[in-house]
Amino acid sequence: MTGKRSRNIEVGAAICTILVLAPVVLSQNSSPIPVDKSQLKAWFNANIKPASARGSTIDPALAKAEVAAHIIKVKKDGSGDFDTITKAIASVPSGNTKRVIISIGGGSYREKIRIDRSKPFITFYGDPRNMPNLSYDGTARQYGTVDSATLIVESDYFVAANIVIQNTAPRPDGVMVGAQAVSLRISGDKAAFYNCKIIGFQDTLCDDRGNHFFKDCYIRGTVDFIFGSGKSLYLNTVLYVDGQKGVTVITAQNCFLRRIQVQGKRSKFQWAGEIRQAANRRGSQTFPGSWLY
């Protein structure tokens, strides 16, 4: 027990940054986000404060949840508390009221993972020098599009840092029926992703519903690879378009200055970062960042 407690203390020290950021998903400050990318870091530091500095401005339930985090270690070699992420999630009680940090060791985890709405305040934390890879090959033909995701998060206040989330199903060729394959579906409210890679082809990210924040992330796909009814901010995040001929529509949620109706409501997509197009016969191209509404 003493050894396990010491390891937990070490992990807690390593992820203190995530703990202080987790309570704040979207800034409530009226200060506008700068269009100039070079000013984003200063804006972020000025507006996104540690929980200790937020006082009574954050949700009381969230403030209480962050007081004493519980740490669970997942290691593929069996040296942690669990050897799979699914087992670690199952150990979190329904109606959870405390921040639970699942520290995931490096390596590949072939699992189809779901966090149901009864388990809020969960954090996935990986080592930035050896990021764990969560992968599965579910497709729309097998599960339906939104349930094909490798990781499905239905609970509120989810945080992920230094995680690779990937759907390894074959690239749709326009002939295969139900070939869409989601990597991540986020359906809970007030979720945050830091330094995560979300990789797929068509329908990579289902930004389903709720308010979400993506910072320093990398999202890769071919066409319509961000979709849903969520309201999200993508800050300093790369959207990588994987070699399509002709015009590629990045998002079915909102594309550039185009608004679409989703269940009678207007969806909103905000982004500050850059778009990259994979190398093709004309070479690779980098497009400057702009806002998407």
**What pLDDT is recorded for position 29?**
52
- CATH assignment of the domain containing 200: 2.160.20.10
First-residue to last-residue Cα distance in the chain = 51
Pairing of strands 268-277, 285-287: antiparallel
Question: According to the model, what pLDDT value does residue 265 have?
Answer: 35
Q: Is residue 46 in a domain?
A: yes
Tens digits of residue pLDDT in 109-133: 999 999 999 999 999 999 999 999 9
Instruction: Tell me if 33 is assigned to some domain.
Output: no
96, part of any domain? yes
What CA–CA distance (Å, rounded) separates 167 from 127?
A: 21
Domain of residue 103, residue span: 2-27+39-287
Report yes or no on 229 lying in a domain: yes
Q: Does residue 262 belong to any structural domain of this protein?
A: yes
Domain assignment present for residue 292? The answer is no
Low-confidence ranges of the chain (pLDDT < 50): 1-28, 254-293
Q: What is the pLDDT of residue 21?
A: 38
> Among residues 36, 81, 224, 242, which one is catalytic?
224
Residue 203 lies in a domain: yes
For this structure, is 224 an active site residue? yes
Task: Assess if residue 34 is contained within a domain.
Answer: no
Total count of domains within the chain? 1
Q: Write down the pLDDT at residue 189.
A: 95
